[in-house]
Amino acid sequence: MSSATSSSASPRGLEGVVAASTRISHVFGEEGRLVYQGYEISELAGKVTYEEVCYLLWHGKLPNASELGQFNQQMRAQRTLPAAARATVRALPNDADPMDVLRTVISAAGVGLGIAGTPTYEQAVALTARFPTAIAMFARQREGKEPVEPRADLGHAANYLYMLTGTAPEDRHTQGLDTYLVLLADHGMNASTFTARVIASTESDLASCVVGAIGALKGPLHGGAPSLVLDMLDQIGDAANIKPWVDNALDHKQKLMGFGHRVYKTTDPRAEILREMARQASTPEFFALAQGTEEYALKELHRRKPDQRLYTNVEFYSASVLHSVGLARDLFPSTFAASRVAGWTAHVLEQLQGNRLIRPQSEYIGPQGLKFVPVAQR
């Protein structure tokens, strides 16, 4: 037999395959809904802090006032990087990709904190609390500045912005970033979450699970596109150029950044929330450019590709919001990771409840029956 034949095609990208049962979150793609532990995302965004969402994802319920106070203290006490992680930041080149830095520093932090054995809730807190510190320390280092130590009197989002700049942030910037962190904290069985659960199923440690998830998120098909939205808007320039620019891009089969989603077949609910945040946080000129581009792009995408059901995704207005709070473009993916680590760790802890090694089969389509030939006769 010279080649294998397939009786049934395997779904590409595991399309439609249910890989796990979870209570943590779910994307209802046809309806344009995202649910965290029973709460619609619209019930949470702008109403709760990122810390409350962490607690929700890890505990299955929102904290009361006393629980939240204790939890905030716990998170704030865990922000300082261990010596091994700080030394790692200093050893890395200033032109490194921030996602490469985050992956490397969190690995070092796992060693420095002694994270080993079966993942625990306490370890989840320890890693989640330190993500912003790692990002901010590198961001300042590459600018030739000393790191800013975390402040225990600031919330998670405010402290992140403070460590980046050394100045207490404006409330509107804190609110914008905090809402962004809430919206991106989890999103069903996405590629990085699945990666974390696969690693967890081998009974590896939590730092390994999280580092693997960072590697998956780095890929531009998962977490690397928001800055490309800003690049696109820069190229368009002003509202008068929207129609010719979009027409030219689509005529030449170029991808419009910030549109389309693997799961959502209608508007991403997070995009709806971020649009209003961008309206409030951006300059009127910038928001007019973004909204005008969105409206015309959707019109043309629906006209030219009616069967593909392309709508605005979370990345389109994430770019506007993160830009408005002062983040450098290349920090967008690592800031995404600083949000999603809550979901990753929640899924790891859930995976270990009745764990079974995730070990799918593959469909072999290569040759068979080949005979060995000595090298001199090949």
Q: From the DSSP assignment, how many helices (H) and strands (E) are in the chain? A: 15, 3
Domain 25-220+330-351 carries which CATH code?
1.10.580.10
Distance CA 72, CA 64 (A): 12
Distance CA 290, CA 48 (A): 27
Which contiguous run of DSSP H or E holds residue 34?
strand 33-36
Q: How many CA atoms lie within 13 A of 95 on its CB side?
A: 0
**Phi, psi dihedral angles at 39 (to 5 degrees):** -100, 130
Q: Which residue has the higher pLDDT, 242 or 360?
A: 242
Distance CA 86, CA 6 (A): 52
Residue 126 CB coordination number (10 Å): 24
Bridge partner list, 28: 33
pLDDT at 273 over 80: yes
Nearest of 159, 154, 96 to residue 130 by alpha carbon:
159
Q: Which of 51, 294, 315, 350 is catalytic?
A: 315
Cβ-based neighbours of 376, under 8 Å, separated by 6 or more: none
At 207 the three-state DSSP class reads: helix
Annotated active-site residue 261? The verdict is yes
Return the C-alpha torsion angle 371, 373, 377, 378, nearest 10. 70
Residue-wise DSSP of 288-319: HHHHHHHHHHHHHHHHH-TTT---B-HHHHHH
pLDDT at 8 over 60: no
Residue with tokens 């990345």: 315
Nearest of 48, 71, 46, 45 to residue 58 by alpha carbon:
71
Residue with tokens 């629906």: 302
**Phi, psi dihedral angles at 302 (to 5 degrees):** -70, -30
Cβ-based neighbours of 75, under 8 Å, separated by 6 or more: 51, 54, 125, 128, 129, 156
Which of 18-27, 214-223, 255-264 has the least mean pLDDT? 255-264
Distance CA 196, CA 216 (A): 9
∠ CA 350-130-66, nearest 5°, is 70
pLDDT at 279 over 80: yes
Mean pLDDT of 36-44: 97
Q: Which residue has the higher pLDDT, 351 or 1?
A: 351
| pLDDT digits 0-9 by tens, 124-143 | 999 999 999 999 999 999 99
Annotated active-site residue 347? The verdict is no
Mean pLDDT of 82-101: 98
The pLDDT assigned to 313 comes to 85
Q: Which residue has the higher pLDDT, 85 or 280?
A: 85
Nearest of 137, 75, 77 to residue 106 by alpha carbon:
137
Q: Which of 156, 173, 261, 323 is catalytic?
A: 261
At 19 the three-state DSSP class reads: coil
Checking DSSP bridges between strand 33-36 and strand 39-40, what pairing results, if any? antiparallel
Return the C-alpha torsion angle 70, 71, 74, 78, nearest 10. -160
Rounded CA Rg of the chain: 22
pLDDT at 351 over 90: yes
In the chain, the N- to C-terminal Cα span, in Å, equals: 20
pLDDT at 307 over 80: yes
Distance CA 55, CA 67 (A): 9
Structural domain spans, the chain: 25-220+330-351, 226-324
pLDDT at 260 over 90: no
Bridge partner list, 259: 312
Nearest of 173, 80, 65 to residue 134 by alpha carbon:
80
CATH classification (class only), 226-324? mainly alpha
Distance CA 331, CA 161 (A): 12
CB 264 within 8 A of CB 325: no
